[in-house]
Amino acid sequence: MPRRKKQIIPIKDLAISSEIIKELEQHPELADYDMDTLQITILKKHKPQIQNLDKVISNLKHYWAINEKHISIINGEVVIFKTDIIKMMKISRPTLDKWIKDGNITPQYSTFFKKHIFPPKLILEQLEAYKEENK
């Protein structure tokens, strides 16, 4: 992943610089520091990218095509839990958790099981939509 762009702003360029310097001068551990060199560093935000997306989509399609008849459907819901979808896509649990947190994948909540399920068709649609958005 490329390094994020960094902006450095000298405190003296800000309208509230005198208040910031007064506040910092009250800290005894900063007595030997030159407050004229004070600056703020800001890192640019970056949108996380899913790596090897084509491989993940391929793995999911392949697994689904071979094992569709062995996957349970209860109350009209395809019963695929987190551990199952991880195996299907050949990714790690932290990777799936990060994709969920970033909003790239949204599981469905099963009222029958009282937990999230991962219908492969829905997950595949979400991954393909993500791929289209990030071309």
Taking only the tens place, the pLDDT of each residue in 92-128 is 999 999 899 988 899 998 888 888 999 888 999 999 9
Q: Where are the domains of the chain?
A: 6-43, 53-133
> Percent of the chain, pLDDT > 90?
44
Residue pointed to by tokens 């695929």: 80
75 backbone φψ class: left, alpha, beta (φ>0; ψ -120 to 50): left
Single pTM value for the model: 0.62
- DSSP alpha helices (H): ranges in 26-70? 53-67
**Average pLDDT score over the chain:** 87
pLDDT (average), residues 67-91: 85
In whole angstroms, give the CA distance from residue 56 to residue 89.
5
Token pair for 99:
């994709």
